[in-house]
Amino acid sequence: MVKERKVIIMGAGPGDPDLISVKGVKALQQADVVLYDALVAPELLQYAAPQCKRVFVGKRKGKKEFSQDEINQLIVFYAIRHTCVVRLKGGDPFVFGRGHEELAYVTRRGLTAEIIPGISSALAAPASVGIPLTKRGVNESFWVVTGTLSSGEIGHDLFLAAQSSATVVVLMGMSQLPEIAALISKERSPDEPMAIIQNATTLSEKSITACASTIVAEAALQEIGTPAVIVIGKVVAERLPQVTSFVSVHAVKPLTR
């Protein structure tokens, strides 16, 4: 019986390799080819069989190994030559991960696709430092927005989010941090609590908390860079300073096939 060819678009989680799902591990174990991003923990590739082809297609700010169109074409190229191709993406592929674009490209070409969600850094980063996205009596909702559009401009929804009382989680926003802080100071208050978590859930995680009027100076002082998640709102003040995140040191223990 000939096995059906399929593409699995899956999330690797926020950074700590132990935060991948069990289903994700099983997918890696059966993969013939894995196309992986820059933010994927390298340890996760150890789950793949020795004969599995590993293809780096990472994109980071200012540097691209492949364009998105080229990545789409590579997925199909390998999918018509192998039984199981895994597209491994950091975080969750459907949260600013362009996973749906890849899904549409694959399915339009008659290939079977499967989605395996991952833990988004939008959720994991605040939790890793003890910041609740929601708390009874403090807020009623949270927004997850992009800080930078493809044009390089500040995300339009940030202006709407700033006018609400919701917690705001900003992804890909560090290049716009001064503009974001100024917006929050204007629409909310210069004293609005803010936090930045860099390399969340990894051994190199760093975080700071400040207010809208001081966050830019504090980020520069502490040398906070990318990749990082910005959290805005009253819930930031609920962070307990004694809380530290647990990061796996010996993360990869392959499951039995």
For the annotated catalytic residues, the residue numbers are: 37, 59, 172
CA angle 20, 12, 226 (to 5 degrees): 120
Question: In Å, how far are 3, 17, 115, 128, 236 from 211, measured between CA atoms?
Answer: 56, 32, 38, 20, 9
Coil vs helix vs strand at 10: strand
Q: Is the separation of the CB atoms in 211 and 191 below 8 Å?
A: yes
Distance CA 193, CA 209 (A): 7
Q: How far apart are the first and last CA of the chain?
A: 21
Distance CA 143, CA 13 (A): 19
* Residue 230 DSSP one-character state: E
Q: Is the separation of the CB atoms in 181 and 194 below 8 Å?
A: yes
Name the pairing type of β-strands 193-198 and 206-211: antiparallel
Q: Going by C-beta distance under 8 Å and a sequence separation of 6 or more, which residues neighbour residue 71?
A: 35, 57, 102
Distance CA 194, CA 207 (A): 11
228 DSSP β-pair partners? 198
